[in-house]
């Protein structure tokens, strides 16, 4: 940060994407150990306590089922992921546009923000059965896209708006000394300041988008959707298959999160914590 205190001159971070994303293998080692230990403990406890499969299957049986059904799971997952991604893109884009408008015309912001924050507390997922009826009886992607979009909207809006209005007064004073207009101030100060906040909102939104799509499908959706697959398999007592479906949801959810996190690192090269 540009505080006045003298600090030692740091070396310039060099290298491309790989350097920014990839850390040394030793940095990942503790997390890998925890992962392996968790699965080993899970497996061990089930064998030792003789837990019934419908309560919790063994990780190895889930893995075997996942491998056997990988083609079906992949296609179902891809279908649901498209809904989540669509909702994420639509919801986040509208939220960013809204944030820009509310930050530009502040009275509008003061009038609407209390309701936006209150609306943020509404369990939007409760509307899923109704939105399914709004769009084609719930059999196409659009109803899930809508649910995911609404879920993504609020965290992105609230965080982006917070960022756009968190500009340091001296940053604005400098622009004023150059007689810069409102558009210039947005472009060169407010938006760059808001980017780290916006990415925080976007990362929250990736998780919500997957939840929105899958839970939306629980209330009815295409037969080849992942949420429908998980629901029907657990009704048929095919718990390994249901768990394999949940694993697929996790993989797609994590992928979307990681994609946004990488985009964040590439975009926010100036933030010290993203280059360490």
Partner 1 sequence: MSVVQIKDVTKQFGEVTALQGIDLEIEPGEFVSLIGPSGCGKSTLLRIIGDLIEPTSGTASVNGKPARQARVDRDYGIVFQDAVLYDWRTVSKNIALPLELARWDRRRRADKVKEMLELVELNGFEDHYPWQLSGGMQQRVSIARALSFDPALLLMDEPFGALDEMTRERLNMELLQIWEASGSTIVFVTHSIAEAVFLSTRVVVMSPRPGRISETIPVDLPQPRTAATREEPRFFELVTQVREALHLGHDAERPAQPSEATV
Question: Rule CB under 8 A: is residue 49 a binding residue for partner 1?
Answer: no
Burial class (CB in 10 A: 0-12, 13-18, 19+), 157: buried
d(CA 248, CA 237): 18
Length of the chain, please?
Answer: 276
- Considering only residues 28, 134, 178, 237, which one is a binding residue for partner 1 as defined by CB under 8 A? 178
Residue with Cβ nearer partner 1 (255 or 275): 275
The closest alpha carbon to 195, from 266, 261, 267, 256, belongs to 267
- Considering only residues 179, 183, 235, 276, which one is a binding residue for partner 1 as defined by CB under 8 A? 179
> Closest distance between partner 1 and the C-beta of residue 96, in Å?
17
- Three-state SS at 51: coil
Termini Cα distance of the chain: 15
Question: Rule CB under 8 A: is residue 19 a binding residue for partner 1?
Answer: no
Whether the CB-CB separation of 98 and 112 falls below 8 Å is answered with no
d(CA 269, CA 259): 16
Whether the CB-CB separation of 135 and 146 falls below 8 Å is answered with yes
- Cα-based distances in Å from 133 to 80, 128, 143: 18, 9, 8
Question: Rule CB under 8 A: is residue 16 a binding residue for partner 1?
Answer: no
- Considering only residues 17, 40, 174, 254, which one is a binding residue for partner 1 as defined by CB under 8 A? 174
- Residue 95 corresponds to which tokens in the numbers above? 């939220």
> Closest distance between partner 1 and the C-beta of residue 193, in Å?
8
Number of residues that bind partner 1 (CB under 8 A): 32
Residue with Cβ nearer partner 1 (7 or 25): 7
Quick count: other Cβ atoms within 10 Å of Cβ 161? 25
Question: Rule CB under 8 A: is residue 10 a binding residue for partner 1?
Answer: yes
- Considering only residues 119, 171, 211, 234, which one is a binding residue for partner 1 as defined by CB under 8 A? 171
- Considering only residues 9, 49, 118, 121, which one is a binding residue for partner 1 as defined by CB under 8 A? 9
DSSP H or E segment with residue 214: helix 191-218
Question: Rule CB under 8 A: is residue 176 a binding residue for partner 1?
Answer: yes
- Cα-based distances in Å from 42 to 31, 68, 184, 249: 17, 21, 56, 20
Whether the CB-CB separation of 155 and 96 falls below 8 Å is answered with no
DSSP H or E segment with residue 39: helix 25-49
Residue with Cβ nearer partner 1 (12 or 31): 12
Residue with Cβ nearer partner 1 (103 or 128): 103
- Considering only residues 51, 56, 180, 246, which one is a binding residue for partner 1 as defined by CB under 8 A? 180
Question: Rule CB under 8 A: is residue 173 a binding residue for partner 1?
Answer: yes
Question: Rule CB under 8 A: is residue 165 a binding residue for partner 1?
Answer: no
> Closest distance between partner 1 and the C-beta of residue 186, in Å?
13
Q: Which of residues 210-269 bind partner 1 (CB under 8 A)?
A: 268-269
Binding residues for partner 1, per CB under 8 A?
1-10, 12, 168, 170-171, 173-174, 176-180, 184, 188-189, 192-193, 195, 268-272
């Amino acid at each position: 940060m540009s505080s006045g205190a003298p600090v030692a001159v740091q070396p310039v971070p060099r290298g491309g994407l790989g350097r920014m994303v990839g850390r040394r293998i030793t940095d990942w080692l503790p997390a890998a150990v925890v992962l392996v230990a968790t699965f080993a403990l899970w497996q061990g406890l089930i064998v030792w306590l003789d837990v019934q499969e419908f309560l919790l299957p063994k990780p190895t049986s889930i893995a075997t089922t996942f491998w056997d059904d990988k083609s079906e799971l992949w296609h179902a997952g891809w279908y649901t992921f498209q809904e989540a991604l669509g909702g994420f893109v639509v919801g986040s884009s509208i939220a960013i546009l809204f944030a820009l408008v509310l930050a530009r015309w502040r009275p509008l912001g003061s009038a609407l923000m209390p309701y936006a924050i209150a609306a943020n507390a509404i369990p939007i997922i409760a509307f899923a059965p109704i939105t399914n009826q709004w769009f084609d009886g719930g059999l196409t992607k659009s109803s899930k896209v809508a649910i995911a979009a609404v879920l993504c909207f609020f965290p992105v809006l609230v965080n982006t708006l917070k960022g756009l209005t968190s500009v340091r007064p001296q940053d604005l004073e400098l622009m004023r000394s150059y007689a810069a207009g409102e558009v210039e101030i947005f472009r060169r100060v407010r938006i760059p300041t808001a980017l780290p906040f916006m990415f925080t909102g976007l990362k929250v939104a990736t998780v919500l988008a997957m939840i929105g799509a899958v839970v939306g499908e629980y209330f009815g959706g295409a037969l080849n959707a992942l949420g429908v697959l998980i629901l029907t398999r657990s009704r048929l007592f095919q718990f390994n298959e249901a768990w394999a479906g949940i694993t697929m949801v996790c993989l797609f959810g994590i992928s979307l999160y990681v994609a946004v996190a990488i985009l964040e690192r590439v975009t926010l090269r100036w933030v010290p914590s993203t280059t360490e």
